[in-house]
Structure 1
Amino acid sequence: MPADVLRAEIGKGLRVQLAHPIGHVVTLLISTVMYLGLQFVLGQGELRQDLLPPTLVAIGVQYAGLVMVADLIEEKRAGTFAQSRMSPAPPWLPMLGRLITASLFGLAVAAVAALVPMLLARIAVPLRWAALLPAVLLMINALAFTFLLAALALVSPMIGALQSLFTSLVLLLNGSFLPLNLYPDWLAATARLLPTTLGVEALTQTLFEDRTLAEVWAGGALPWLLAHTLALVAVAGLLFARNHRRALESS
């Protein structure tokens, strides 16, 4: 039964991740120190309250990719990847289970990583209903990016370096360190082509600029976010199907 396969994959992933908590703790510590340290440098010796809230919203969307890609790399190295042939379930179903597992840990680490700066720097993030749709689209966009990295991990021996490169590029430009409106126009336009940038922009407009969904749509951030997310989901799905077939043939 597909539901049994999905449940088993999620259970396996949770047990594996909970058995090695030190990696998540180290990632949490490094991420928090890097974020606060860079904001201290950008603020020239202080934590600026005008920069902290929007950048804090952007910083917590990348962790799931680390978990999922690392899991695939270890399985390929152990020679157990071809065991997916033994299941009658479609190949994307176990991957969906891994994505859910990675997302759960990603959300947990992101929540803690956001809570520490909020308490230390007294950052207030308002809650508004208008932010719900951009937040959902941002999450789907980030998960599609994670799935894209996982698809690359199936066939690329350099996925570790590629993942670090892609993730660092996204973090530098998606608003995690500086709000997008502080970038030069050409760099802001380039950044909007990357995963999560448009989602962060639409989300911060609803949260911190008090814009309605109609205003965000009229400004272009929301329709472009929707189009970007659909395109990224399609590309990630097609690439995964192709690379999964190639990985099984070479196993």
Structure 2
Amino acid sequence: MPQIPFPGGMGPPHLPFFNHSLPFPPFFPQPSFPMTMPPYASDVVPDPSINPGGLYSSLQPQNELKCQICGREFARRTNLLLHYRTHTGEKPYSCDTCGRSFSQSGSLKAHKRIHTGEMPYQCSYCPKKFRLKGQKTRHERTHTGERPFVCDQCGAKFADTTNLQSHKRIHTGERPFVCEHCHKGFSQKQHLKTHLLTHTGELPHECKTCKKRFRQKGHLKQHERTHTGKLYFSPVHVLILIQGEKAF
């Protein structure tokens, strides 16, 4: 095939597309060189400065988007690099108010709202506002009843992934949260926090009426009903009422 001349008698400009050293994906046939190119083809070839990763930056082999530590896979290389910080502990973004550090700039931005009091996300169904968009989304499911996350073991449905992951530990028996004092394990982080209060003796929940303090928030709510006159029915009491049996 005859070579098509370029303007001014010049050869083809240096373009990444025609670099012999570039690997060609297996689904592209290896071209024969020298290649011909229509006049002014450089006008339609992507500028390398716009695509610094190169022509095939979006065609990453699948194993390059897989965490080599835990095996988790990602659709974008940027997300993989951010994920690696969960293993390395790197937290390059620091709050200039309290000094707390974060692995992502978005997490720092959301954290700063604790200091400013900003709550930019309002529920579509009620006046309640939230600091994070995810908090708003989870809250709105209390209005809609949506439970999009399903356990693949028993079919139980949940409004958010955190509750689903906690539930799955019922099936696996995993107890990743361990008490540093007695080495007792728990399936949920909140259960560990409550347990730690038995070692510290702390009673963080106070009744606004009589100032009595409690270790668990549920115990405080049950106690507050002694002031309001509202009856408290535990799950056992509800079952007894439904079945029409006596409590004792």
TM-score computed with the length of structure 1 as normaliser: 0.19
| Structure with greater helix share of residues | 1
Task: Mark the structure with the bigger radius of gyration.
Answer: 2
> Comparing both structures, which one devotes a greater share of its residues to strand?
2
